Structure 1
Amino acid sequence: MRYKTVPDLHNAGEMTSAVTHAATELVREGARLITSNCGYMIRYQEALRAAVDVPVLLSSLLLAPFLERMVPREKVLGIITSTASSLTPDLFEAAGLPANSKRVVVAGLENAPAFAAAFLNPCGDLDVSAVEAETVDAAMALLNDRPDIGMLLLTCSELPPYAAAVQQAIGIPVFDHTSMVEFFIEGITRRPFNGLV
């Protein structure tokens, strides 16, 4: 596994050349796929696909069209993200969803104190238990508000550690950034079939 940092990415609206440069360096160093640590990186998905010759999976939002097509017709896809207002129509379109889909509902964690302190405005240590509780609370509140949610996608790449607790609390399928990466890794490192488990 290799990493590249794109300085000041969180402060800039348009950093395509810097992100592309980091990805091409990773490929030169032997990377077989490119991913990122932020769901909002979906805005660079097409630019990186054009720049490198390996698969690009920048955001778990790439799962959204797939999940939206799998959820029963009378159900919707729920999304929990870091900041709901940042999940704009253009990002949905970049992921392959209609900009104003009626089959997707979003909740953010911007008002969750422990999450915000750890990830949005870093000002202290990560309180894992508190962030887990806030993530579970957000999922339960979203499902309470929209009982027609059939699947949940956690788009913030900081949330996979809490996916099991969320699923235990709400009882529906939960997907995240690691779901996407593991799906792809399974495709490039197939093992002999030993039956269904």
Structure 2
Amino acid sequence: MIDIPPPRGNRWPRLPFNGAPLGVLMMERMGSENRPFIPGDTGNASTWTVPARYKVVPGLSVSRIFAPDAGEMLSTVVEAAKELAREGAQLITCQCGYSIQYQAAVRDAVDVPVFLSSLLLAPFLERMLPRGKALGIMVASKSVLTPDMLEAAGLPASLGRRVAIVGLEDTPAFAESWIRSVGRLDVKAVEKDVVDTAVALVNDRLDIGMLLLECGDLPPYAASVQSATGLPVFDYTSMVEFFIGGLVRKPFTGLI
């Protein structure tokens, strides 16, 4: 016997399909982009432990979200999130961590939880760290990450040396594939860029106690980063799967 939860209001919502609680906002792929979203990437449905539904935000590309006028895309992002919620998404996340700039508006526009950037994990992780330790954050482009974005994520400037941020914008393979959006994806080369950058950060800041990966294209390399640094590593999947764990609870079994 299947235990069906009660409907919303007085009737069941009319949905195109059921059983895909995770909604993911995606950016448009411009020109001749042909890089696959590999397992672990937010754009790969097999990354998640529950079925996902995807929604491309018209006009929102990598170059646009990196631009100073990215805020002009706010209403389009909000509308795409509303569509996901109407289709039955019970949680809305996205592909790019710089979507943190849309977090407040999207949260106010829908009636489901919204996690538009893994940067939302940063305050939680920072508070867990002991005195004398810092949180290392790896981002796609440090120059694009503004103080307003950090504030939106709950990271005030007063944290000072408790947070150390490093960007991947000057790496050869990652920047070519995911920032300049040219060429094919060389997974091994991107992995080397990510690991080398993490190791350099940890060697420069010996007080770093945890690492957080901001970009939705970085989770595939989290295990390699952890192996190279010996540190706990968190990312989009840590954030989303944390909520999924509360959304899909299973009875405990064991001995008494």
The letter of the residue matching 1:163 is: A
Residue 92 of structure 2: aligned partner:
34
Structure 2 CA distance for aligned equivalents of residues 127 and 189 of structure 1: 35
TM-score, L = length of structure 2 = 0.74
For residues 105-159 of structure 1, the C-alpha deviation after alignment (integer angstroms, 9 at most, x for no partner) is: 0011101111011100111110000111110000000001101000000001100
Please list every run of 5 or more consecutive structure 1 residues that lacks an aligned counterpart in the other structure: none
- The residue number in structure 2 matching 1:105 is 164
Higher percent of residues as helix: 1
2: CA distance, partners of 1:72 / 1:86: 29
Letter in 1 for 2:97: G
Distance in structure 2 (CA, Å) of the matches to 1:135 and 1:97 = 23
1:170 aligns with 2:229: yes
1:192 corresponds to 2:243? no
> Is 2:240 the counterpart of 1:181?
yes
Q: Secondary structure of the equivalent of 1:107?
A: strand
TM-score by length of 1: 0.96
Structure 2 matches for 1:22-171, cutoff 5 A? 22-102=80-160, 103-171=162-230
Q: Give the alignment's Cα RMSD to 1 decimal.
A: 1.1
Give the SS at the match of 1:17. helix
Asked if structure 2 preserves the Cα contact closer than 8 Å seen for 1:136 and 1:165, the reply is: yes
C-alpha distance in structure 2 between counterparts of 1:73 and 1:65, whole Å: 15
One-letter code of the match for 1:26? Answer: L
Structure 2 gaps, min length 5: 1-51
Displacement of 1:3 in angstroms is 1.4
More displaced 10-residue stretch of structure 1: 29-38 or 94-103: 94-103
Deviation at 1:101, TM superposition (A): 2.5
What does residue 2 of structure 1 align with? 53
Q: Please give the alpha-carbon distance, in whole angstroms, between the structure 1 residues aligned to 2:253 and 2:198.
A: 36
Mean alpha-carbon deviation: is it higher for 173-182 or for 98-107? Answer: 98-107
User: Structure 1 stretches (4+) deviating beyond 6 angstroms?
Assistant: none
Question: Is residue 16 from structure 1 mapped to residue 74 from structure 2 by the alignment?
Answer: yes
How far residue 100 of structure 1 moved from its aligned partner, in angstroms, is 4.9
Amino acid at match of 2:60: L
Report SS of the residue matched to 1:4: strand
